[in-house]
Amino acid sequence: MDEKALDRTYYFTMLFHRLDKERKGYLRKEEVRDLMDEIHSLMEGKINHDTMDMKSEQFDQYWTTIDHNHDGKCYLQNVTEVITTYDIWRFEKIRKEEIEEIFDTKPHCMRSRVLGFMSTPNYELFSNLSTIVNVLMIYVGVLTRSSNKEMSNTPLTAWLTFEIVWNFLNGIELILDIYGNGSVHKAFRRKFRAAIEAFCQFLNIMGLIFIISKGISIDTYYHLCKPFEFIIFLRLLKLTPLLHEIRSTRLVITTMGFMLDPISTLAGVVFLIFYEFAVIGQFLFGGVIENASYKTPYDNGGSFFTLMNFNDVFSSLVTLFALMIVNNWYVMVNQTCAYMGNINYRLYFYAFYYVGVIIATNILVAFAIDIYSVVCRLDDSRHANKEIIVKMLEDHERMEAEKKAAEARDAKAARAAR
C-alpha cells in the first residue's frame, strides 16, 4: 500500500472513531450520514463543513448497499464502501441529465421515443455515414464545372438544388433533436451536432433567399457553390464527438478544457517576460541588424537570419520565440554579437533562456502534465462509477422483477388454496 493510501486510511479511521462517540465499534445510520458529510467537506476542499444536499430517499437507497448484514450497523471495514457510495452520489449529481437520458422514467412518451431512437448506435452510424458521403458532392461539383464547357444551366442548377434539399433534410434532424431534448438550450448542450447543424441551416436559408431574389442561373451557382461547399465541410465537425470515444483523444480534449481558465494567468506571466526582454532587446540592439553584412554558415544566396532582429517590438517577440524553441539559437546569438562587436552581449540571451525557457516555459509544461494526470485519474474514476451505477440499476431492476414474480406466485398459491 502506498503512502497516500496509508494516509487516507489513517484519516478515515480517525474520522470513524471520532464519530463513534460511544465507542461501540460501529456507526449507526445517522452517524454514517455525518460521515458522508465529512467526506463531502474533504472532497470539495471546504473549511466550513457544509452538509451535502442528498435527499433522504437517496440515502435510504444507498444505505442498503452499506448495511450488508441488515442490522443497522456500519463497521470500520465498511468505510471504503461509504466512500464509494459518496463517489456514486456525486457522479449521479454531476451526470444527472445523462443518466436520466439513458434510464428514462417515461419510456412510452413520444419525446422519449424520439430521443431514444436518435441516441441508438444505428442512427448515429447512419447520420455519420451520410455526412461523410455528402463530401462526395464537392467532387461531383468540380466534375460538373469542368465538363460543362457549354455553360449549360441544367447540371449546375441540379447540383445546387440537390444541396438545398439535402440541407433541409438535415434540418429535420435538428428539429427532432430539439423536440427530443425538450428545448433548444438542452439540445445544444447535450448534442454537439445540434449547434453545428443550426449554423448550417442558417447559411442554407441565406443561400435560398439569395436564389429567390436573383433566380436560378449560372451566375447564382458560381456565387453560392463555395458557401454550400463550406456547409459540407462545416457539417463534418459533427463527427468530432467520435474522437471523444477514443480514450487518449478524450483525455487530451478534456485536459485542454481544464487548462483554459487557469493557464490564462500563467500565459500572461510568460508574455510579460517576453515583452520585458523584447523592450530590453530593442534598447540594446534596435536598428543594428539592417543589412546582410554578416554571413552565417547557413546562408545560401542571402542572409535570411537578419530577419531575426530587434528593430521593433513584433520582430523582437518573433526572435525571442525562435530562441525559446531553441531553433538555431546560437546562429542568432553569434549574429547579434558580430553586429555589436562584443561577445559580452551573450549575457542577454543567457538571461532570457534561463528566465523564459528553463523557468517560465517549463512551468507551463509541468502544469499541463499535472492537469493531464489529474484528468486521467478522473476519467478512470468516472468510468468505474458509471459501471457501478449501471450495475446498481440492473440489480434494482432484477430485484423488482423477482419481487413481482414472487408476488405473482404467492397470489397464485393463495388462489389455489381457496
What's the CATH code of the domain at 81?
Answer: 1.10.238.10
**Residue 321: pLDDT over 60:** yes
Which tens digits make up the pLDDT trace of 134-144?
888 888 877 77
pLDDT value, residue 352: 92
Which tens digits make up the pLDDT trace of 217-238?
777 777 888 888 888 888 888 8
Query: Within this chain, do residues 65 and 163 fall inside the same structural domain, yes or no?
Result: no
Residue 345 lies in a domain: yes
Amino acid at the residue 335 = Q
pLDDT value, residue 43: 61
Which tens digits make up the pLDDT trace of 69-80?
777 778 777 777
Percent of the chain whose pLDDT exceeds 90: 5
Residue 357 lies in a domain: yes
The torsion region of residue 298 among left (phi > 0), alpha (psi -120 to 50) and beta comes to: alpha
Residue 100 lies in a domain: no
Q: CA nearest 144: which of 156, 158, 160? A: 156
Residue that terminates a domain, selected from 210, 239, 268: 239
**CB distance 103 to 389 below 8 Å:** no
Bridge partners for 75 per DSSP: 26
- The band of 278, judged by pLDDT with boundaries at 50, 70 and 90, is very high
**Cα distances (Å, whole numbers) of residue 108 to 104, 111, 118:** 9, 9, 15
**CB distance 266 to 363 below 8 Å:** yes
* pTM for the structure as a whole: 0.48
pLDDT value, residue 280: 92
The torsion region of residue 272 among left (phi > 0), alpha (psi -120 to 50) and beta comes to: alpha
Burial class (CB in 10 A: 0-12, 13-18, 19+), 260: exposed
Burial class (CB in 10 A: 0-12, 13-18, 19+), 26: middle
**Residue 34: pLDDT over 70:** yes
Contacts 24+ apart (CB under 8 A), 283-292: 284/310, 284/340, 284/345, 284/348, 285/309, 285/310, 285/336, 285/339, 285/340, 285/345, 286/310, 286/311, 286/312, 287/311, 288/336, 288/339, 288/340, 289/335, 289/336, 289/339
What is the rounded CA–CA span in Å between residue 321 and residue 274?
8
What is the rounded CA–CA span in Å between residue 78 and residue 67?
9
**Residue 170: pLDDT over 80:** yes
Higher confidence at residue 117 or residue 175?
175
What is the rounded CA–CA span in Å between residue 369 and residue 59?
37
Distance of CA 240 to the CA centre of its chain: 11
Residue 412 lies in a domain: no
- Which stretch of 51-55, 87-91, 323-327 has the lowest confidence by average pLDDT? 51-55
Residue 402 lies in a domain: no
**Residue 14: pLDDT over 70:** yes
Residue 127 lies in a domain: yes
Residue 317 lies in a domain: yes
Query: Within this chain, do residues 256 and 298 fall inside the same structural domain, yes or no?
Result: yes
Query: Within this chain, do residues 261 and 231 fall inside the same structural domain, yes or no?
Result: no
- Backbone phi, psi, residue 80, to 5°: -60, -35
Query: Within this chain, do residues 368 and 310 fall inside the same structural domain, yes or no?
Result: yes
- Backbone phi, psi, residue 74, to 5°: -120, 115
Higher confidence at residue 160 or residue 353?
353
**CB distance 218 to 225 below 8 Å:** no
Query: Within this chain, do residues 67 and 119 fall inside the same structural domain, yes or no?
Result: no
In whole numbers, what is the pLDDT of the chain averaged over residues?
Answer: 78
pLDDT value, residue 96: 58
**CB distance 339 to 295 below 8 Å:** no
pLDDT value, residue 100: 53
Mean pLDDT of 197-219: 85
pLDDT value, residue 49: 45
Query: Within this chain, do residues 375 and 257 fall inside the same structural domain, yes or no?
Result: yes
Q: CA nearest 277: which of 308, 321, 335, 339? A: 321
What is the rounded CA–CA span in Å between residue 167 and residue 340?
64
**Cα distances (Å, whole numbers) of residue 253 to 124, 159, 258, 259, 260:** 21, 37, 9, 10, 11
pLDDT value, residue 149: 59
Query: Within this chain, do residues 185 and 116 fall inside the same structural domain, yes or no?
Result: yes
Higher confidence at residue 274 or residue 414?
274
Query: Within this chain, do residues 115 and 224 fall inside the same structural domain, yes or no?
Result: yes
Query: Within this chain, do residues 234 and 254 fall inside the same structural domain, yes or no?
Result: no
Residue 361: CATH number of its domain: 1.10.287.70
Which tens digits make up the pLDDT trace of 330-387?
888 888 888 888 889 999 999 999 998 888 888 888 888 888 888 888 788 777 777 7
The C-alpha cell at 364 is 507551463
Query: Within this chain, do residues 203 and 295 fall inside the same structural domain, yes or no?
Result: no
Query: Within this chain, do residues 170 and 270 fall inside the same structural domain, yes or no?
Result: no
Residue 368 lies in a domain: yes
How many structural domains does the chain have?
A: 3
Burial class (CB in 10 A: 0-12, 13-18, 19+), 153: middle
Query: Within this chain, do residues 79 and 185 fall inside the same structural domain, yes or no?
Result: no
- Which helix H or strand E contains 1, and what residues bound it? none
Domain of 64 in residue numbering reads as 3-94
pLDDT value, residue 303: 58
Residue that terminates a domain, selected from 239, 266, 291: 239
User: Torsion over CA of 167, 172, 173 and 177, rounded to 10 degrees?
Assistant: 140
pLDDT value, residue 104: 47
pLDDT value, residue 27: 81
pLDDT value, residue 122: 81
Mean pLDDT of 298-323: 78
Residue that terminates a domain, selected from 188, 210, 239: 239
The C-alpha cell at 253 is 480534449
**Residue 261: pLDDT over 80:** no
pLDDT value, residue 415: 81
Bridge partners for 26 per DSSP: 75
- Backbone phi, psi, residue 26, to 5°: -155, 170
What is the rounded CA–CA span in Å between residue 249 and residue 244?
6
Which tens digits make up the pLDDT trace of 85-113?
777 777 666 655 555 554 444 444 677 77
